[in-house]
Amino acid sequence: MRAEEYAERKETLDTWPIHIVTYRIGDKYYCTIDNVDPGARFARAEGPTREEVERVALEKAQRYLRQTRRFPTAT
């Protein structure tokens, strides 16, 4: 077996740049979402269709990103 229909793209979600990777292995689709900077995977989903796994992964990503606080950088 091998990864098929491999696709990646960059988007912005709630002002945060994200990187979405989706592919299929066998009959299962996988979607992972990284924060672009630093590039850490923080949301993932697996399921029967591309649309479904991307929808679920994006929902998770949004939930986690909304918990990220921004602080003033001046001392």
Residues forming contacts to another protein in the complex (CB under 8 A) are 1-4, 6, 8, 16, 21, 23, 25, 28, 30, 32, 34-35, 37-44, 46, 61, 64-65, 67-71, 73-75
Q: Which residue carries 């299962």 as its tokens?
A: 28
Checking phi first, is residue 70 left (phi over 0); if not, alpha (psi -120 to 50) or beta?
Answer: beta
Nearest-approach distance from CB 51 to another protein, in angstroms: 19
Checking phi first, is residue 15 left (phi over 0); if not, alpha (psi -120 to 50) or beta?
Answer: left
| Cβ nearer to another protein, comparing 43 with 54 | 43
Nearest-approach distance from CB 24 to another protein, in angstroms: 10
